[in-house]
A and B are shown apart, each in its own frame.
Chain A
Amino acid sequence: MARYIVSRVGQALLVLWAAFTISFVLLQAMPGDAVLIKFQNPEYGLSAEQIADIRAAYDADGSVLPQYVHTIGNFVTGDFGYSLQAGVAVSAQLAANLPSTIRLAGLAFAAAAVLAVIIAVLSNLSGFGRLRSFIQSLPSLFVSIPTFWLGIMLIQIFSFRFRLVPVINPGEWEGLILPVLTIAVPISAPMAQILLRNIDEVLTRPFVSVARAKGASHAFVLWQHVAKNAFLPVLTVAGVLFGELLAGAVITETVFGLNGIGSLTEQAVNFQDVAVLQAIVVISAAAFVAINLAVDLLYPVLDPRLKTKLGAVS
């Protein structure tokens, strides 16, 4: 087991390095750079010579390889450099923005899981007919809703029309309700869909008939026998969905005017703030890798078949 974890952590580091390198190359390949964008601004009234001096000071035209080695060395020691735009350390910006995004993403993920389970339970307890097929079509509906549109619609309906949730100067938690919902709805769709399909599949397995033959009720079978088996594949998807969670946060934070990694990303992209973007890419990759590692390590805990590599000869 220890060996497994070491090899997985090794793989994770490799992924991080690849993410860093690819993003570094792509960011370098972009035409123009942050120095130009910032100091070409007519407000500064700088001459071409002055700009050239500044560029030299920042080593903006230096060769790529030393920059790469320099930057990666800094990243390894936890120094993410300085944001050109804001003029502060990137690590300070991250420290200011990360907690709110983690809170938003965490809540949204939990809400999505709850939503998916509600859909699955309703669909399996509502018997048959129209209600069931309506509930089963919800995931397809949810997944086709664009995040920005959903955010705007939620504000329109719940804040402006019914005045249920304030959007202007909301309380700390109140302000999270709509953004969390906005992210949760599209994320819940694939989870619900996989859960529904798995429940249907597990219900056809012989051990379910055996449980029914013991005299267990439908609800008992669902909770005691189907739930855990149907949930296992959802776990895999949950890891992958984490990526969408980040994308969802970028749009949602912009729509709702929230501070966080999303809005930080948006500004950094606008100003080609390479140092900030580089840090965000690496941080996102690290989070993604960590979540998927956690999922993989969780599997043997939930599924006893994965604990021993070689089962009894049957």
Chain B
Amino acid sequence: MTISPVGRLEGTVLPAPVLDVSGLTISYRDQNGTRTAVHGIDFSVAPGEVVALVGESGSGKSSTAQAIIGLLPENGRLESGSIRLNQQDIAGWPQKRLDGIRGSVVSLVPQDPGNSLNPVKTIGRQVAEILIIHGKASGAVADARAIELLERVGLNQPALRAKQYPHELSGGMKQRVLIAIAIALKPSLIIADEPTSALDVTVQKHILDLIDELRRETGTAVLLVTHDLGVAADRSDRLIVLKQGKIQEQGRTADILANPQSAYTQRLLADAPSLNIRQRRVAAVATASQGEASDDIIIVEGLVQDFSLGGKDKGLRALDDVSFRVRRGTTHALVGESGSGKTTTIRTVAALQKPTSGKVIVDGLDLSAPPRETLRLLRKKIQLVYQNPFGSLDPRQTIAAIVEEPLLNFEPVPRAKRAEIVASTIEKVGLPLDVLQRRPHALSGGQRQRVAIARALVLDPQILILDEAVSALDVTVQAQILALLDTLQRDLGLTYLFVSHDLAVVRQISDTVSVLNGGKIVESGAVEDVFERPQSHYARELIDAIPGKKYPSLAGQSLSTHSGNIR
């Protein structure tokens, strides 16, 4: 297999590629033997080009990136193939020799800025270090150069930042520092491994803009590894779609988006919320009860939440006069960046904490002064589904025990009846009954999230609070879970309070939305109104930052069958 013809423009003489990967095969050793993660893939990156490597978890995109920079995990092995960096095959190089080119010829912008800087070293030292390692500068010169680099990546007060430690900087600032390190020696290739996945959407936009700008300035090529098709669509010249270690398709980004060849790419594009402004189905129950404002199942009025920071400090106002209403049977989304007060709001609505002041009425129960019995009643009405399907299920319990547990906390139900309820709930969420005797580790991420939903549904609640419930899932699985939530809402008349940082998902699933910023609601209303005609500056900025704008609505080609099929 050679480079796919779409990747090369006919009739033009292309400059020698910065990176030319051919026949790359990577395997991992574990207790069960050897597992091949990447199967002989070929691709190349031309100077100054941005190539996006997209795929879902397990597609081998990160392994490929790690192999190129010679940093596969200990149990990973480069089985065969060549990695030509500026015409030099580095595939067989020992680590010592790779040290010479890492940082100077090829550099890395990592995935998780929060953990990618050494917590006990100053920012300045960590930037200066790359100059020192490669003998480009030392002492005061290196420190001065580090400050220049910090200024270059847009950090305010760079001299002060250089003296600070990572925990004193925000996530976006940390990613800027990591970019400063990556560009310090003007490498030929930057590998950006999910560079913005851990960041808020507006910060994501700024970081991607910065990478773009620096790339243009220095002519550096970028290999952008991402699961987010919207980001890939906006930012790349060419696209490589990986699935289970094999290239499904590669070519010019615009071509692939306009006319995807492989079935897998087609499905991926159809499932990506940011590329599809899919019309929200009109909530069945909502239309039925149109006009009846009295049917608001959640009423939040003037909610204020202060946290004391201990000592003489004045404390932190996490929520400031938050008010919204949710009509029964509809989905209300709370959006905002980290620290905006989303989590605090849902914790208060779920009566997990007492508000400083304000009123919360859930299905007629006033939570401002809840007697014990009210709280118990409320627990049956409201259930939560959390973000991380890996952490929220006890690994030592069987699925049956996990789903059954909420039933044991209320009035006794006979064993046989319990088993019956558990089985019917598992069926409701589209899982086969044979999962009941298994444990969470035997299930995929999507299946686990279905179990978490089943556990929430087993008490027959009226409200589900979905806290980033689909954020950790791959797009195709995400689409299935969203479809499931939609079906459940219609069948059971559920009300959802949906918390997400992913505005594209919010647009797809919600009826109404409240935009939070700094503990205040800056805008709220019907989802179409807010997304199409944002009134506040902040909401506009947030919506503009959603990736995938470059290729609006590909919804025409979307395949509409998601539900049922479980991965």
| Residue from the list B95, B117, B120 in contact with A302, Cβ < 8 A | B120
Taking CB atoms and an 8 Å cut-off, the chain A residues in 184-236 that contact chain B are 205-207, 209-218, 220, 224-225, 228-229, 232
When the two chains form their complex, are residues A212 and B71 in contact, meaning their CB atoms are under 8 A apart?
yes
- Interface membership of chain A positions 282-314, coded 1 if the CB is closer than 8 angstroms to chain B and 0 otherwise: 000000000000000000001111001111111
Residue numbers in A under 8 Å from B309 (CB-CB)? 309-310
| Residue from the list B96, B110, B165 in contact with A304, Cβ < 8 A | B165
When the two chains form their complex, are residues B102 and A210 in contact, meaning their CB atoms are under 8 A apart?
no
User: Measuring CB to CB, which residues of chain B are less than 8 angstroms from any residue of chain A?
Assistant: 69, 71, 95-96, 99-104, 107-108, 110-112, 114-121, 129-130, 133-134, 165, 167-171, 174, 178, 181, 309-310, 338-339
Tell me, in angstroms, the Cα distance from A275 to B362 when the chains sit together.
Answer: 68
- The residue of chain B having its C-beta at the shortest distance from the C-beta of A218 within the complex is B95
When the two chains form their complex, are residues B103 and A214 in contact, meaning their CB atoms are under 8 A apart?
yes
When the two chains form their complex, are residues A215 and B99 in contact, meaning their CB atoms are under 8 A apart?
yes
| Residue from the list A207, A225, A228, A311 in contact with B115, Cβ < 8 A | A207
* Central interface residue in A214, A224, A229, by most chain B CB within 10 Å: A214
When the two chains form their complex, are residues A210 and B110 in contact, meaning their CB atoms are under 8 A apart?
yes
When the two chains form their complex, are residues A213 and B95 in contact, meaning their CB atoms are under 8 A apart?
no
Given contacts A228-B120, A314-B170, contact A305 B165 (CB under 8 A): yes
When the two chains form their complex, are residues B167 and A216 in contact, meaning their CB atoms are under 8 A apart?
no
When the two chains form their complex, are residues A209 and B71 in contact, meaning their CB atoms are under 8 A apart?
yes
When the two chains form their complex, are residues A314 and B118 in contact, meaning their CB atoms are under 8 A apart?
no
Residue numbers in B under 8 Å from A229 (CB-CB)? 118-120
Given contacts A217-B96, A224-B129, contact A212 B102 (CB under 8 A): yes
With both chains docked as a complex, state the minimum distance between the C-beta of A80 and any C-beta of chain B, in angstroms.
40
25 residue pairs of the A-B complex, CB under 8 angstroms, read A206-B111, A206-B112, A207-B115, A207-B117, A207-B118, A209-B71, A210-B116, A211-B129, A213-B103, A214-B107, A215-B99, A215-B102, A215-B103, A216-B103, A217-B96, A229-B120, A304-B119, A304-B120, A304-B165, A305-B119, A305-B167, A309-B309, A309-B310, A312-B170, A314-B174
- The residue of chain A having its C-beta at the shortest distance from the C-beta of B134 within the complex is A215
When the two chains form their complex, are residues A213 and B108 in contact, meaning their CB atoms are under 8 A apart?
yes
- The residue of chain B having its C-beta at the shortest distance from the C-beta of A302 within the complex is B120
Tell me, in angstroms, the Cα distance from A263 to B452 when the chains sit together.
Answer: 63
Tell me, in angstroms, the Cα distance from A302 to B310 when the chains sit together.
Answer: 24
Residue numbers in B under 8 Å from A212 (CB-CB)? 71, 102
| Apart from the given pairs A209-B71, A213-B102, A312-B170, 18 other A-B contacts in the complex at a CB distance below 8 Å | A206-B110, A207-B119, A211-B129, A213-B71, A213-B108, A213-B110, A214-B129, A215-B103, A216-B99, A216-B103, A216-B129, A217-B95, A217-B99, A224-B129, A304-B119, A304-B120, A314-B114, A314-B171
When the two chains form their complex, are residues B168 and A308 in contact, meaning their CB atoms are under 8 A apart?
yes
With both chains docked as a complex, state the minimum distance between the C-beta of A304 and any C-beta of chain B, in angstroms.
4
Chain A interface residue count: which class? 20 to 34
Tell me, in angstroms, the Cα distance from A232 to B100 when the chains sit together.
Answer: 31
- Interface membership of chain A positions 76-90, coded 1 if the CB is closer than 8 angstroms to chain B and 0 otherwise: 000000000000000
With both chains docked as a complex, state the minimum distance between the C-beta of A24 and any C-beta of chain B, in angstroms.
37
Tell me, in angstroms, the Cα distance from A303 to B178 when the chains sit together.
Answer: 21
Tell me, in angstroms, the Cα distance from A222 to B169 when the chains sit together.
Answer: 25
With both chains docked as a complex, state the minimum distance between the C-beta of B106 and any C-beta of chain A, in angstroms.
8
- The residue of chain B having its C-beta at the shortest distance from the C-beta of A208 within the complex is B118
When the two chains form their complex, are residues A215 and B100 in contact, meaning their CB atoms are under 8 A apart?
yes
With both chains docked as a complex, state the minimum distance between the C-beta of A199 and any C-beta of chain B, in angstroms.
14
Given contacts A220-B133, A303-B120, A304-B120, contact A206 B168 (CB under 8 A): no
When the two chains form their complex, are residues B118 and A312 in contact, meaning their CB atoms are under 8 A apart?
no
Residue numbers in A under 8 Å from B118 (CB-CB)? 207, 211, 225, 229
Tell me, in angstroms, the Cα distance from A285 to B134 when the chains sit together.
Answer: 52
With both chains docked as a complex, state the minimum distance between the C-beta of A270 and any C-beta of chain B, in angstroms.
49
With both chains docked as a complex, state the minimum distance between the C-beta of A202 and any C-beta of chain B, in angstroms.
9
With both chains docked as a complex, state the minimum distance between the C-beta of A233 and any C-beta of chain B, in angstroms.
13
- The residue of chain B having its C-beta at the shortest distance from the C-beta of A215 within the complex is B103
Tell me, in angstroms, the Cα distance from A304 to B120 when the chains sit together.
Answer: 6
Tell me, in angstroms, the Cα distance from A38 to B22 when the chains sit together.
Answer: 90
Residue numbers in B under 8 Å from A232 (CB-CB)? 120
| Residue from the list B95, B119, B130, B170 in contact with A214, Cβ < 8 A | B130
Tell me, in angstroms, the Cα distance from A304 to B168 when the chains sit together.
Answer: 10
Residue numbers in B under 8 Å from A217 (CB-CB)? 95-96, 99
* Central interface residue in A209, A308, A311, by most chain B CB within 10 Å: A209
Residue numbers in B under 8 Å from A314 (CB-CB)? 114, 167, 169-171, 174, 338
- Interface membership of chain A positions 162-204, coded 1 if the CB is closer than 8 angstroms to chain B and 0 otherwise: 0000000000000000000000000000000000000000000
Residue numbers in A under 8 Å from B115 (CB-CB)? 205-207
Residue numbers in B under 8 Å from A313 (CB-CB)? 170, 338-339
When the two chains form their complex, are residues A311 and B129 in contact, meaning their CB atoms are under 8 A apart?
no
Tell me, in angstroms, the Cα distance from A64 to B108 when the chains sit together.
Answer: 72
With both chains docked as a complex, state the minimum distance between the C-beta of B83 and any C-beta of chain A, in angstroms.
15
When the two chains form their complex, are residues B133 and A216 in contact, meaning their CB atoms are under 8 A apart?
yes
Residue numbers in A under 8 Å from B167 (CB-CB)? 304-305, 311-312, 314
- The residue of chain B having its C-beta at the shortest distance from the C-beta of A308 within the complex is B168
| Residue from the list B102, B116, B170 in contact with A206, Cβ < 8 A | B116
When the two chains form their complex, are residues A225 and B130 in contact, meaning their CB atoms are under 8 A apart?
no
7 closest Cβ contacts across the A-B interface? A215-B103, A213-B108, A304-B165, A215-B102, A214-B103, A214-B130, A311-B167
When the two chains form their complex, are residues A214 and B171 in contact, meaning their CB atoms are under 8 A apart?
no
Residue numbers in B under 8 Å from A309 (CB-CB)? 309-310
Tell me, in angstroms, the Cα distance from A206 to B107 when the chains sit together.
Answer: 14
With both chains docked as a complex, state the minimum distance between the C-beta of A37 and any C-beta of chain B, in angstroms.
54
Taking CB atoms and an 8 Å cut-off, the chain A residues in 37-76 that contact chain B are none
With both chains docked as a complex, state the minimum distance between the C-beta of B168 and any C-beta of chain A, in angstroms.
5
Tell me, in angstroms, the Cα distance from A139 to B262 when the chains sit together.
Answer: 56
With both chains docked as a complex, state the minimum distance between the C-beta of B72 and any C-beta of chain A, in angstroms.
11
Given contacts A229-B119, A304-B119, A305-B165, contact A215 B71 (CB under 8 A): no
- The residue of chain A having its C-beta at the shortest distance from the C-beta of B115 within the complex is A206
- The residue of chain A having its C-beta at the shortest distance from the C-beta of B339 within the complex is A313
Tell me, in angstroms, the Cα distance from A237 to B281 when the chains sit together.
Answer: 59
Residue numbers in A under 8 Å from B99 (CB-CB)? 215-217
With both chains docked as a complex, state the minimum distance between the C-beta of B75 and any C-beta of chain A, in angstroms.
12
